[in-house]
Structure 1
Amino acid sequence: MNGTGGSKTGLIPTNSVTTKEGLTVRARIDPTLSVSDVVKQLCLNLKVKGSPADYALRDEMDELVTNDNLRKKIKAKSNLKLVNSPAIEATELLDKLLMRDEKTMRLPLFSLTRKNTQEDQFATAFVNRDGVRILIEVINVSYGNTLAYALTAMQNLMELDYGWATLDDAFILKVVQILSSQNSLINVCRPATAILKRLVEADPLSVPGPGMAASSSRSPPPAPPGSVYRYGFDVVFEQMRKEWGILETVVNRLGSADTALALNSMMLINSLLAHATDSWWEYFTAKLERLNTRKAVVRLMSAHAVEDLTSCVLDFQANIARMAYRKKTTLVEPDVQSHSGALDYIWTNSKLSSQPDGEGGVLKWRQLGFDSENLSQEFGEVGVLGLDCLRHFVQSDPDFFSKVVQEQISRPPERRCPLAKASNEVVELLSEYWAIFAPGYATTPTFQPFFLNFYKVHALATNFFYRMWNESGASLGDFTRVVALVRSQVKVALRDESSREWHEVEQNFVECEYRAVRDRQMKELEAEDDLLSKVPVRNLRAKLYKESMEFVRSQRIHCLLQGAWFMNAIPTTGSARRPTRPWRFMRMDNGLKYLHYVDSPVKFPVRHGLEDLPERIDISAISEIATGNCAPPPNFSQGDLPPSSPVVASQLSFSLISAHEGSLADQIAPDQSRWADWTDGLNMLRRDSGHVASKETADFITALTEIGLKIKLLDLSGDKVEIPSGLVAGAPPTNNDFFFSDLYDPQ
C-alpha cells in the first residue's frame, strides 16, 4: 500500500502496519502528511470499520505516533499498529474502573502506571471524562498492590500541568493517612510521598519560571481558574498536622533499606523546607530539629553508596544553609515567645541573679559577657541563629555553663571571659567558614556532615575559645586575638569534611594546646592580611559571593541553551544495554522547560533552534542528576573518546533520573568543563534544588568572589581609606525636631 503514490514512493521507507484483527500489511507512508491523514488512508485502504477518529498509530514499544515523531518512525522503519485512539482507550479504561472489581481494575490501573497519563491526548480525554474523580474513588477503597497502582497512576497524571486542580483537602488528607500508616507497603508509600511533594511544589509562586523555589516572604498571587498551581506548603501542611506523627514517619523512612523510599522521603522533606511559608516556617523547622532530621541525613551519607541519593543530600544541605541564613538575619526580639523561652532557659541555667548596676539600671545579661542589656543589639549580627547556638551550648552541659559564668563573676572585670559574646563570635566564624552569606545556592559539591552538626561544632569551638582565653591569660583587650586563634583552629579542625571522622574534629578542638595554635596562627598572619577579617570586609565578601553565584548560574544556563554533544552511555548498575546510536546532541529550549535532543551515529553541525532535535525530555520530570555512574558502551571506539571493553564508570558521566520512570538519559561529557556546566546548570533549574555538584563550579564562584574583593580593596588601599573594624551608631535623636538636608556641591 502506498501512502502517497507518485514518483516519490521509491524514496520513502516501507513500514509494516498491523491492525487490531492481526492483519499485517506493508505501507509506504508520506512523512509530510499529518498522523490523522495517515490514519484516514490506512482505514480507507484496509476497509476498517468505524470512524478514522477512533483510531491511532503506535509502534512496537506502544509509543503513540504523533506529528512530532512520525518522520522519525518512518525513517526507522518502525513496525506500526493501528489501535484504538487515546480517547477510546480512556473511555474503555474508565468503564473498567467503574466496575469496582479489584481483579478487573488491576490491569487498567497497571496500564495507567506505565504510559497512558503521560500522553497529552490520553490525559486530556481521561480528565474530560471525569477520570480524576474516578481515580480518587478507587484510591479511597483500594489497598495493597491495587492501591499502589492507583497512587502511581495519580502520581503520573500530576506530572502534567493541568487536569488535577480539583484535588481537595479530603484527598490530601487521605494521602497523608496512607503515608503515615505503619502498615502501608513500600510500593504504596513511594507514590504517596511523591504526590505530597508535587502538591507542595504546586505553589502559585512557582508558576512564573521553572527551577525557582517559592519565596516565603511574598504573598502568593491568586491561582488562575483551573490552574493546578493552587496548593503549596500551607495547604499540604494543614492536612499533615491532622495526622499525628506523620513527619516522624517520613524522617524515619530516611533509614529505609529501600533506596527509592528513602529517596522519595528525602525529596518530600526538601520540598517542604524549600516552600515553607512564614506562617509555619518556625514551627516546621523546629519540628524537624526535634526529630533529629540532620542526624538521619548524616547517617544517609555513610549508609548509602547509591548515587541517586547524593543529589538529595546536597539539596538538604543547601536547604539547611538557607535556613541558617534566614535565622542569622532574623532579629532577636525578647517579646517573641520562642525567643523569650530560649533566653529564659539560658538565664535560668546560669544560676545568677540580677544586680543593680549603680546607674539606675539592672546588671543581668552583662554578667554572661554581653556588652549591654539590649539583646536585640547584642544578637544583631547573628540573629536567631546565635540565640539557638547559645541555647544549645547551655543545653549540652548546663552544669559546666553555670560553673563558668559564676567563676567569671568572681574575677576582676577586665579578666572575665565574655562567654556570650564569644558564642556569637564563633557563630560568625562558622558562618564565614561555611559561606552562610546569602539565601542563594549552596556551592559545596561534597557532603558536609560537620555542617549538619552546626550546634555541636559551635559548642566545641566555644569551649575552645574559653580554654584559649584561660591558657593565654587573656584580658578584655585580647578578645580579637583569641578570636583569631579560634578562626585558625576552625580551619584546621573542619578540613577534609567529607572524608574525616567526627572524633577527629573533637580531638582537634579538645586536645590542641595553646602554644601550638599560637605558633601556627603567627605563621598564617605572615601570609595573610588581617584586613580580611574585619566586619565590613566580611560583609563585602558576602555581597560579592551572592553576585558571583548569580553570574555563574546565568552562565551555566546559557550553556544549556547553546547545547552540546555527549556520548550515549550505559549505567554500571542494571542491564547493560548498548545504545543504538553512540552520540547525542542536547539543547534546552528558551522557555527552560524541555531538553531537546537527537541521537546520531556521527556528530554533525546542528542548526540553531530546535528543528534538528525531534525528541525531548521534560525538565520538571528530572528529580535527580546522578554523577559518575555510567560507562561508555563496550568496545566503543569513535571520535575523541578512548575505546572501552570493561564496564567502568566514567567520572564525566551523568544520568537524569525520574522519581518513577528511572533514568531518562545516560550521558558522558566530552570534558570536565562541559560536565560541570550541564550537571550544575540542570541542578540549578530544578524546582526544589539549589546545590552545586562540581568542584569546578564551586571553585569558580569562590575565585570570582576573591578577585572582586581584591579589586575593591585595591581601590580603597589606593585611596588610603582606613577601614574600621566596626561602626558604632550614635545615640538616637531625643525628639522629632530634625530633618535631613540635601547634599550639594557649593562649587
Structure 2
Amino acid sequence: MDTVNVAELVERLGSDEDAVRKMAVFKLQSNIGDPSFADIFMTEGGLTRLRYLTLHASGNTLAYSLTSFARLLEVDKGWECVDQELVERIVELIVTHPLVNILRGAMSILVSIVSHPHAGSRASEADLFGFRALKPAIAIYPQFLEMLVSRLSSADHALCANALQLINSLMRDSITFDSEAEWPKFIQKLQDLGVIRAVYVLMQDSALQDLAHPLLEFQSLTKVLLRKWRDIPLNQETPEHRRALKGIYVASNPAKGGVDEAAENSDDSRRSKRHHPDKWRRLGFESESPAAEFSEVGFLGMMDLADYVRSHQDEFQKILLEQSTKPARQRCPIARASLAVTSILYEHFEVDKSEMDDSKNYMMLESRSNFDKLFKPLLLHWTRLHVAGLQAFFRLWKATTAETEDLDKLVELVRILIESVVGGAGRTKDVQDVEEELASFEYHRLRELQMELLELTYEDAWGQHLRQVREELHHEALQFVKEQRIRCLLQGAWFSLESHSKSDSGPASRSTASHQYVQLSHNRRYLHFGDFDSVGDRAPELDALPEKIDLSIVSSVVSNISTSPDHSSSSTVKTAPRQASTKITIHGYAPSSSEHSKSHGHTRTGSKSTQKEVVLLTLRPASHSVASEWLDGLLMLLNQQPITAETTKLIDLVGNYGLKIRLLNVRFDDATFAGEAPPVPVREGLDEDYYYDVFGGA
C-alpha cells in the first residue's frame, strides 16, 4: 500500500481513456483485498467509480473491475453499492458473456451477495441479500440456473469452482430462509438441470485440488437436505404428503390386487376403509395407518418409496401380484423394506454427522491422500442406491423363503451388503458397477461375511471372553472328533495285503491271504487283526481275529499320507516321503518270550531302553479318507495330536459351528448350515416341548 497513491489511483479510474482505466483497475485488484487499503480507497470516493466500471465497462477492464469488487465484498465492505441494478447486471453477464475471466469475477460477487446473511449482519433492506436478491433478475433471465449448471462442465477448474460455490450459496440460502413450499422446488429444479450428475463427475475426477472445498461443501449440503427431509414428519393432512401416499396406492394397481377400485375412488373415505381392511397392509405396511410407520425416516422415506414406485411401477405391480397368492406371513413387506433401506443408507453415510465434523474435514483437504476418504460420490446417487438396495432385499427374501418374523434378519443382511459393496467402493467406482454388484452378491457369501463381522464385533466387545470360548470349543471339538475317529477303529475296516509285505506284517503267515481285517477291542486296549483270502459279505467277529497287539507297547506310527502343516513336525510321528500307495506302519517294542506267553498281553516289566523297536503291523488303506481316520484315530488313541489335514479341517469346522451357534442362536434350518437340515428325532410319546443342549452349557 505504501507504493500506491490511492487518490491518484481513484482519479485514474475515472479517466476518459480506457487504457488508463484498465491499468488503474488492474493495480486495484491486487490491493483491494487489504481492509486498510479498502478503507482509504472508499474515503477517496473510489467505490462509486468502481461500481460505474462494473456496470458499464467491457473487456479486461470489466474483468478487473469485477474481481476488484468481489474482493472488496469479501472483506465485508462496499455493500452500500449493492442494489438491484448491480445484481441484474451481474446475472446478465453470467447468462450472456462467454469470457472466463469475466464470469469468474461475476460469480464471486454473487456468492458474496447470496452468502451475506450468513457472513455477518443483515442490511435493513433484506431483499438486497440472499437468494431473494437474485430472484427479480432471474425472472428477467430465466436461463440463469441452466447456464450456471452448465459451467460445471467447463474445462477451466477455477470457473467450475466459482460456479459450484454460487450453487452452494443459493442452495444453503434457499434451505435456510425459503418457505417449506419454496426450497424443495428450487432443489428439484437444480436436480432437473443435471447438477447431481455434473458434481458426481467432478468428484470422480483426478484433478480435485482446485475444486475440493466447493465439492466438499456440496456433499455437506446434500446431507443437510437429507436431514431436512428426514425431519419432516409425514402428515396425511398435508396435501403434498396425501398426494404422495395416494400415488403409491394408485401405482399398486389395486383392481388387480383384489381391491375394489370403484370404492377407492369414492369420496367417502370411511366407506373406503370399510371396503378395504388390508388396503395398506397389502403394500407392506404393518397397519392401516401408514403415516405412523414413517416416524424414523420422515418424508425422506416417503420420497424414496414414491421414487421406486414411480420408476419401477411394472416391477412393483408384479411383486404385489405374486405376493397376493401367498399366505400373509410369506408376503414380502415392500413398504417396510423400503423404509429399512432408507434408514440403512442414512446411517451408512452418517447423514446425522454435524457440520462441525464436516468443518474438520476441510483441514484434511491439504493432503491429496485424504480425498478418497472424504469424498463420497455415491451419496449423490441416493435414489439409485435405494432402489438397488430394495431390489437386493426382494432377492434375498425370495432366496431365503423368508417369513414376516424374519424381517429383522433380512434387514441386517441388507445392511451388511450395503456396508460391504457401497462402503467398499472407491471414489472412482461408477454407480452402475455398484448397482450390478448389489444385484449379483450371493446369499451364502453374504452369510459368511455376516459371520466374520459378527465375530469381529464380539472380538472387540468381548475379546478375552471370546478367546476363552474359542479355546473351550476347540477342546470340545477335538474330543468330539477324537471319539469319532476311535469309533472308526471300533467298527473295524478291511485293508489290502501285498505279497512283499510278508516280512513287515507281524508274525502271521500270509502266503495266500490278500486282505486283512483290523478292529479295535471294545475296551480300546488291543488292536485285533487277521488275514483272509477275500473280503467277505459280513465283517468277521472280533473273536475270529487270531492276532492282536497290545497298544501299550506301541512306540510310534509312521505314515506317508499328507499331514497338516501345523503338526508335520511332531516328534512322535514319523512322516515318510510320498509313495505310490498309502501305508500306515505301527512300531513297537518286541515283547520277551516270557511276556509273550502271558495271557492278555500284560504290561512288560523290562526297560524300554533295552528293548528293540520293530514293526508290529502295516496297514494299507483303500482311500485317503480311511487313511485319515485310522492314522489320526491311532494317534488320538495314544493321546497324541492328529496330523492329517482332513481331521484338522473337521475339528475347525465343528468348533466354528459351535461358535456360530453360540453367537447367533441359529435354528437347525438356518442357511448357515450347508445342505439338508438334519432330521428331527422321533420317539413315541415325545412332543415338541424339548430343546437340545448342543455343546453343554451353550
Alignment TM-score > 0.5, same fold: yes
Do structure 1's residue 520 and structure 2's residue 441 form an aligned pair?
no
Q: Which residue of 2 aligns with 1:264?
A: 162
1:186–1:261 CA contact under 8 A, matched in 2? yes
Give the Cα–Cα distance (whole angstroms) in 2 for the partners of residues 250 and 337 of structure 1.
32
Q: Which residue of 1 aligns with 2:73?
A: 158
Q: Which residue of 2 aligns with 1:692?
A: none
Give the Cα–Cα distance (whole angstroms) in 2 for the partners of residues 127 and 339 of structure 1.
53
Q: Which residue of 2 aligns with 1:197?
A: 111
Q: Specify whether residues 501 and 286 from structure 1 end up closer, same or farther in structure 2 by C-alpha distance, changes over 3 A only.
A: closer
Alpha-carbon offset, residue 191 of structure 1: 0.6
Cα RMSD over matched residues? Answer: 2.9
Amino acid at match of 2:418: V
Deviations 1:265-308 (A, max 9, x none): 11112222233223242222222222231211111123351412
Alpha-carbon offset, residue 125 of structure 1: 4.0
After superposing the two structures, state which structure 1 stretch, 341-350 or 286-295, moved more.
341-350
Amino acid at match of 1:273: M
Q: Which residue, 464, 468, 492 being the options, matches 2:392?
A: 464
Amino acid at match of 1:477: E
Deviations 1:491-549 (A, max 9, x none): 111114325343442232111222322333234334436999xxxxxxxxxxxxxxxxx
Do structure 1's residue 377 and structure 2's residue 292 form an aligned pair?
yes
Do structure 1's residue 417 and structure 2's residue 332 form an aligned pair?
yes
Q: Which residue of 2 aligns with 1:284?
A: 186
Give the Cα–Cα distance (whole angstroms) in 1 for the partners of residues 302 and 68 of structure 2.
47
Do structure 1's residue 246 and structure 2's residue 161 form an aligned pair?
no
Q: Specify whether residues 358 and 389 from structure 1 end up closer, same or farther in structure 2 by C-alpha distance, changes over 3 A only.
A: closer
Q: Which residue of 1 aligns with 2:492?
A: none
Q: Which residue of 1 aligns with 2:657?
A: none
Q: Specify whether residues 399 and 360 from structure 1 end up closer, same or farther in structure 2 by C-alpha distance, changes over 3 A only.
A: closer
Q: Which residue of 2 aligns with 1:437?
A: 352
Alpha-carbon offset, residue 207 of structure 1: 2.3
The within-5 A match list for 1:156-195 is 156-181=71-96, 183-195=97-109
Amino acid at match of 1:263: A
Q: Aligned pairs, how many?
A: 430
Q: Which residue of 1 aligns with 2:120?
A: 207
Alpha-carbon offset, residue 387 of structure 1: 1.6
Amino acid at match of 1:153: S
Give the Cα–Cα distance (whole angstroms) in 2 for the partners of residues 144 and 329 of structure 1.
49
Gapped regions of structure 1 (runs ≥ 5):
1-63, 66-80, 209-221, 533-747
SS, match of residue 14 in structure 2: helix
1:207–1:229 CA contact under 8 A, matched in 2? no
Q: Which residue of 2 aligns with 1:393?
A: 308
The within-5 A match list for 1:297-696 is 297-353=199-255, 363-440=278-355, 441-442=357-358, 445-494=373-422, 495-528=424-457
Give the Cα–Cα distance (whole angstroms) in 2 for the partners of residues 530 and 339 of structure 1.
45
SS, match of residue 202 in structure 1: helix
Q: Which residue of 2 aligns with 1:577?
A: none
1:365–1:373 CA contact under 8 A, matched in 2? yes
Q: Percent identity?
A: 30
Q: Specify whether residues 400 and 499 from structure 1 end up closer, same or farther in structure 2 by C-alpha distance, changes over 3 A only.
A: same
Do structure 1's residue 145 and structure 2's residue 74 form an aligned pair?
no
Give the Cα–Cα distance (whole angstroms) in 1 for the partners of residues 406 and 34 of structure 2.
70
Give the Cα–Cα distance (whole angstroms) in 2 for the partners of residues 114 and 249 of structure 1.
29
Q: Specify whether residues 529 and 386 from structure 1 end up closer, same or farther in structure 2 by C-alpha distance, changes over 3 A only.
A: farther
Q: Which residue of 1 aligns with 2:670?
A: none
After superposing the two structures, state which structure 1 stretch, 507-516 or 320-329, moved more.
507-516
Alpha-carbon offset, residue 366 of structure 1: 2.5
1:394–1:401 CA contact under 8 A, matched in 2? yes
Give the Cα–Cα distance (whole angstroms) in 1 for the partners of residues 416 and 34 of structure 2.
59
SS, match of residue 251 in structure 2: helix
Give the Cα–Cα distance (whole angstroms) in 2 for the partners of residues 515 and 239 of structure 1.
59
Give the Cα–Cα distance (whole angstroms) in 1 for the partners of residues 242 and 159 of structure 2.
39
Amino acid at match of 1:369: G
Deviations 1:63-102 (A, max 9, x none): x24xxxxxxxxxxxxxxx6x64x2x224413432xx3x53
SS, match of residue 39 in structure 2: helix
Q: Which residue, 14, 21, 33 being the options, matches 1:95?
A: 14
1:106–1:146 CA contact under 8 A, matched in 2? yes
1:124–1:163 CA contact under 8 A, matched in 2? no
Q: Specify whether residues 407 and 245 from structure 1 end up closer, same or farther in structure 2 by C-alpha distance, changes over 3 A only.
A: farther
Amino acid at match of 2:431: W
After superposing the two structures, state which structure 1 stretch, 341-350 or 458-467, moved more.
341-350
1:334–1:375 CA contact under 8 A, matched in 2? no
Give the Cα–Cα distance (whole angstroms) in 1 for the partners of residues 13 and 396 of structure 2.
74
SS, match of residue 80 in structure 2: coil
Give the Cα–Cα distance (whole angstroms) in 1 for the partners of residues 210 and 202 of structure 2.
12
Alpha-carbon offset, residue 337 of structure 1: 4.4
SS, match of residue 473 in structure 1: coil
Flag the structure with larger Rg: 2
Amino acid at match of 2:119: S
1:180–1:246 CA contact under 8 A, matched in 2? yes
Give the Cα–Cα distance (whole angstroms) in 1 for the partners of residues 250 and 460 of structure 2.
39
Q: Specify whether residues 486 and 269 from structure 1 end up closer, same or farther in structure 2 by C-alpha distance, changes over 3 A only.
A: same
1:325–1:439 CA contact under 8 A, matched in 2? no
Q: Specify whether residues 138 and 223 from structure 1 end up closer, same or farther in structure 2 by C-alpha distance, changes over 3 A only.
A: closer
Give the Cα–Cα distance (whole angstroms) in 2 for the partners of residues 130 and 376 of structure 1.
62
Q: Specify whether residues 133 and 326 from structure 1 end up closer, same or farther in structure 2 by C-alpha distance, changes over 3 A only.
A: same
Deviations 1:248-275 (A, max 9, x none): 2111111100111011111112222233
Alpha-carbon offset, residue 241 of structure 1: 4.5
The structure in which a higher percent of residues are helix is 2
SS, match of residue 370 in structure 1: coil
1:172–1:239 CA contact under 8 A, matched in 2? yes
1:349–1:394 CA contact under 8 A, matched in 2? yes
Give the Cα–Cα distance (whole angstroms) in 2 for the partners of residues 257 and 352 of structure 1.
51
Gapped regions of structure 2 (runs ≥ 5):
261-270, 362-372, 462-698
Alpha-carbon offset, residue 403 of structure 1: 1.4
Q: Specify whether residues 173 and 332 from structure 1 end up closer, same or farther in structure 2 by C-alpha distance, changes over 3 A only.
A: farther
Amino acid at match of 1:425: A
1:90–1:125 CA contact under 8 A, matched in 2? no
Give the Cα–Cα distance (whole angstroms) in 1 for the partners of residues 240 and 141 of structure 2.
24
Amino acid at match of 2:153: G
Q: Specify whether residues 346 and 439 from structure 1 end up closer, same or farther in structure 2 by C-alpha distance, changes over 3 A only.
A: farther
Give the Cα–Cα distance (whole angstroms) in 1 for the partners of residues 113 and 139 of structure 2.
15
1:256–1:262 CA contact under 8 A, matched in 2? yes
2:25–2:64 CA contact under 8 A, matched in 1? yes
Amino acid at match of 2:63: A
1:190–1:261 CA contact under 8 A, matched in 2? yes
Deviations 1:409-428 (A, max 9, x none): 33221111111110000011
SS, match of residue 305 in structure 1: coil
Alpha-carbon offset, residue 378 of structure 1: 2.0
1:352–1:406 CA contact under 8 A, matched in 2? no
Amino acid at match of 2:223: A
